Amino acid sequence: MNPLNHVAIIMDGNGRWGLKNKNSRNAGHKAGLNTVEKIIKVSLKKKIKYLTLYAFSTENWKRPKKEVNYLFSLLENFLINRIDELHKQNIKLKIIGVKNFSVKLNNLLNKSEKKTSKNRKLQINLALNYGSKSELINAFKNLKKKNEKINEKNLAKYLQTKNIPDPDILIRTGNTQRLSNFLLWQIAYAEIFFEKKLWPEFNEKDYNKIIKKFKNIKRNFGKI
Ligand code: FPP
């Protein structure tokens, strides 16, 4: 059975769920946050060490301002209300992506990361203003600046995911089969699961099913 250390998730489908069920995309994001909470709980139960969640891509800035603002207000309230509880549960929060938000949100993110930095049970990597291509370009720029040899080990030092093992599983909900500029380097050997359900509908049973399937896959890593 394959050991499971790291699950990465593209949480897609909030907008469609919200429009269909509540006539509002933002209501879908709110419901999506409930799924985030559920999946954190199951990840703890399953003793998963790293959970990486794609919450906001570099491309998501192109959405209407009202939706972008709503997403960040959800995030702010989530951190204000839940960080103590996450801390108590021995969860470490790490932001991957470029933190160029409002001073208030940047401070809150930094404070939350600092508070939980020594926690060891589960590390949540929240991808915010994250884009894999710009992450890679930045890593190559660093290699060049420091005149370091271009190899996998050196490159990985300059990725946002430095010191984090690569994902074993990538899940994308929302019935769409694409990677949307997410962890393109890091998922080289991940097992990919495309899930028809929209993110707010995704539940413990669906997650467990994927984990069970993953555990029984023969992972060759290029060997036979
Ligand atoms: C993609 O669905 C989802 C997002 C861009 C945002 C993800 C945010 C959450 C799950 C809630 C907030 C999370 C935290 C941690 C505060 P979409 O809007 O692209 O869906 P669509 O494809 O149906 O339009």
Report the pLDDT value the prediction gives residue 223, as an integer from 0 to 100.
82
Q: Which residues contact 113 (CB under 8 A, 6 or more apart)?
A: 93, 94, 95
**pLDDT tens per residue across span 78-96:** 999 999 999 999 999 999 9
The residue range of the domain holding 94 is 6-131+166-215
The mean of the pLDDT values for the chain is: 97
In the prediction, which pLDDT does 18 show? 98
% of the chain with per-residue pLDDT over 70: 100
Tell me the average pLDDT across 23-32: 98
Mean pLDDT, range 210-214, rounded to an integer: 97
12 is catalytic: yes
What percentage of residues in the chain have a pLDDT greater than 90?
96
Average pLDDT over residues 102-131: 98
What's the Cα-to-Cα distance from 160 to each of 44, 59, 173, 192, rounded to whole Å? 23, 18, 23, 21
Position 177 in a domain: yes
Q: Which residues contact 172 (CB under 8 A, 6 or more apart)?
A: 9, 10, 12, 178, 179, 192, 193, 194, 195
Q: What is the pLDDT of residue 88?
A: 98
pLDDT at 219: 85
Ligand 1 mutation target, pool 71, 72, 76, 86, most atoms within 8 A of CB = 71
Q: Is residue 52 situated within a structural domain? A: yes
CA 29 to ligand 1: nearest atom: 11
Cα(148) to centroid of ligand 1, in Å?
Answer: 38
Establish if 32 belongs to a structural domain: yes
- According to DSSP, residue 91 is labeled E
Q: With contact defined as beta carbons under 8 Å apart, do 132 and 124 qualify?
A: no
Q: CATH no. for residue 84?
A: 3.40.1180.10
Q: How many domains does the chain have?
A: 1
- Is residue 224 pLDDT above 80, yes or no? no
Rounded Cα–Cα distance for residues 124 and 121 (Å): 10
- Whether 60 maps to a domain, the answer reads yes
Whether residue 173 is contained in a domain is answered as yes
Residue nearest to atom 24 of ligand 1 (CA): 15
The helix (run of H) or strand (run of E) holding residue 56 is: strand 50-57
Residues in a beta bridge with 95 = 126
Instruction: Kindly report the protein residue whose alpha carbon is nearest to atom 16 of ligand 1.
Output: 75
Q: Which residues contact 197 (CB under 8 A, 6 or more apart)?
A: 13, 173, 174, 175, 206
**Annotation says 166 is catalytic:** no
pLDDT at 94: 98
Ligand 1 center from residue 215 Cα (angstroms): 28
Average pLDDT over residues 147-159: 97
Assess whether the C-beta atom of 60 lies below 6 angstroms from ligand 1.
yes
Q: Decide whether any atom of ligand 1 lies within 6 Å of the 18 Cβ.
A: no
List beta partners, residue 169.
7, 191
Residue at 143 is within a domain? no
Would 150 be classed as within a structural domain?
no
Does the C-beta of 51 come closer than 6 Å to ligand 1?
A: no
Q: Is the pLDDT of residue 174 over 80?
A: yes
Does 142 have pLDDT greater than 90? yes
| Residue 100 domain-assigned (yes or no) | yes
33 in contact with ligand 1, CB cutoff 6 A? yes
pLDDT value at 60 more than 80: yes
Q: In the predicted model, is pLDDT for residue 28 greater than 80?
A: yes
